[in-house]
Amino acid sequence: MKQATDAVVVGSGPNGLAAAVILARAGLEVVVLEAEPTPGGGARTLDLGLAPGLVHDICSAVHPLALASPFFRAFDLPARGVDLVVPEIAYAHPLDGGRAGVAHTSLERTAEGLGPDGDAWFDLFAPLVEGWQPLVALALGERTRGITETLADVGARRLLEVGVRLLEQGTPLWDRRFATEEAAALLTGVAGHAIGRLPSPVAAGSILMLGTLAHAGGWPIPVGGSAAIIQALLADLDAHGGTVVCDRSVQSWRELPRARTYLFDTSAQALAQIWGDRMPSGIRRSLTRVRPGPAAAKVDFVLSGAVPWANPEVGRAGTVHVGGTRAQMAQNEDDAVAGRLSEHPLVLFSDPTIADPAREVGGLRPGWAYAHVPNDCPVDPVELITRNIERYAPGFRDVVVAARGVPASEMHRHNQGYLGGDIAMGSLSALSMAQRPRWALNPYSAGIPGVYLCSAAATPGPGVHGMSGQWAAERALRDRFGRTRPVDLALSR
């Protein structure tokens, strides 16, 4: 590709497409290059050939941030025909003996179901649910610009409430809140989304963010799969003159068309490799030294019916966390961090037909599952995940018609950014989540004029929120094109 253009975006995940949409709406000529045959990165939905007409979400499946992130709120997915269905039960956590913790979208209903721990659950989340939008803006904000205004929006009292809860849930103090295994395990499953040691400040952030969103708006499932979000972004990009070129892997800057700016929805290591010696040595070292975190191993199931959970309420949840008690999950997450494969890893499971019955085809439905395993683990996860679900859903094997396992060591084959199965694109720590991939006034910059990192490897980190793409695109518009006013994302624009 030798022709010149205004902007090139490498990678078409949600962040890359968010950046491309903003640049195109600013009037720039934008080209998106994608290594895979289809765009979407971690938000693709594909027919894997496991059953006729059945489609599977390749990475992400449930999308709290599609309702909550400032980018997607401004982009207004529902107005663009994306139907985000919110299950009545956001998530559930089965335990032995048919017991389970259940998180309803209703905070009050959740507290009622937790019995003696109901008041403690309500006390944890009620103040945060009341003021969830400023808190999301703070968590997903650009750390070096606009922070003063965001902090003012949140307010001193609410910041104190958040700080106290982070201290409690991010340290061994978290064991003081709940008396029952059900409530403790229910909350720990949410903490486990951070994929790392428990407890920790990052896991506490996951608890407060995702737990609050479960009660503020729910954890929605897009009708038709995650690709519905991608299709809305692609349609808007096309309407504003942008172009997407698939099957176009980039290994060196020499393969890129001439442009005034380049944004990379890739791993930090890939960005350093592509620009090589053109990048300042200190920045190149910082990017290549980004430490990979523990990994996810994926299984796509074909099921002949609903999962026979021992507790029927679990079957109504959009997301199920399978991992045993709090102590067991903490040990199993420690194993993954230390490079040991646990016999009982934390498993995330979702049956999308709970919210979208049309995903069932010919009596068969997809089942989506992740297990947390050591980075680059080569073990096929099908039996591991099946066995752990069977523990809480006797007869699960009988409804499994087919299964496709993707070991952590193979996850990069359908998304090059997932090195060793690290779907967070770098280990998660308090420091890395405060600023990533490196500490700088402009962490998105590659140290080369006009070159930026816009992926989950950059602040604010993992999740289908589009904010890394937005912040990097706004940097590019200001630095390279002198545009400082916000880009209007409304559908009528």
Summarised one tens digit per residue, pLDDT across range 257-308 is 999 999 999 999 999 999 998 999 999 999 999 999 999 999 999 999 999 9
**Tell me, what's the pLDDT at 367?**
98
Task: Spell out the residues 6+ positions from residue 191 whose beta carbon is closer than 8 angstroms to its own.
Answer: 169, 198, 199, 203, 204, 206, 207
Q: Is residue 442 part of a domain?
A: yes
44 pLDDT above the threshold of 90: yes
Q: Is residue 231 part of a domain?
A: yes
Mean pLDDT of 103-122: 98
Q: Is residue 15 part of a domain?
A: yes
Mean pLDDT of 323-351: 98
Rounded-to-integer distance, Cα 273 and Cα 293, Å: 19
135 pLDDT above the threshold of 90: no
Q: What predicted TM-score, i.e. pTM, was given to this entire model?
A: 0.96
Joined tokens for residue 35:
């290594």
**CATH number assigned to the domain comprising residue 436:** 3.50.50.60
**Tell me, what's the pLDDT at 430?**
87
* Residue 441 pLDDT class (50, 70, 90 cuts): confident
Helix axis angle for 181-191 and 326-338, nearest 10°, is 30
350 phi/psi in degrees, rounded to 5:
-145, 135
99-103, 251-255, 258-262, 430-434, range with the lowest pLDDT: 430-434
386 pLDDT above the threshold of 60: yes
Q: Is residue 458 part of a domain?
A: yes
The domain tally of the chain equals 1
pLDDT by residue (tens digit) across 21-31? Answer: 999 999 999 99
Joined tokens for residue 294:
């523990």
Length of the chain: 493
Mean pLDDT of 452-460: 97
Mean pLDDT of 55-64: 97
134-148, 358-372, 457-471, range with the lowest pLDDT: 134-148
144 pLDDT above the threshold of 90: no
Q: Is residue 250 part of a domain?
A: yes
Mean pLDDT of 31-56: 97
Q: Is residue 132 part of a domain?
A: no
Q: Is residue 348 part of a domain?
A: no
152-156, 206-210, 473-477, range with the lowest pLDDT: 152-156
Mean pLDDT of 231-236: 98
Kindly list the distances between the CA atom of residue 457 and the CA atoms of 17, 191, 265, 417, 453, in Å, as whole numbers in the listed order: 15, 20, 8, 9, 8
492 pLDDT above the threshold of 80: no
Domain limits for position 282: 5-61+224-292+417-481
Q: Is residue 243 part of a domain?
A: yes
- Gyration radius (Cα) of the chain, Å: 22
* Residue 49 pLDDT class (50, 70, 90 cuts): very high
Rounded-to-integer distance, Cα 237 and Cα 459, Å: 23
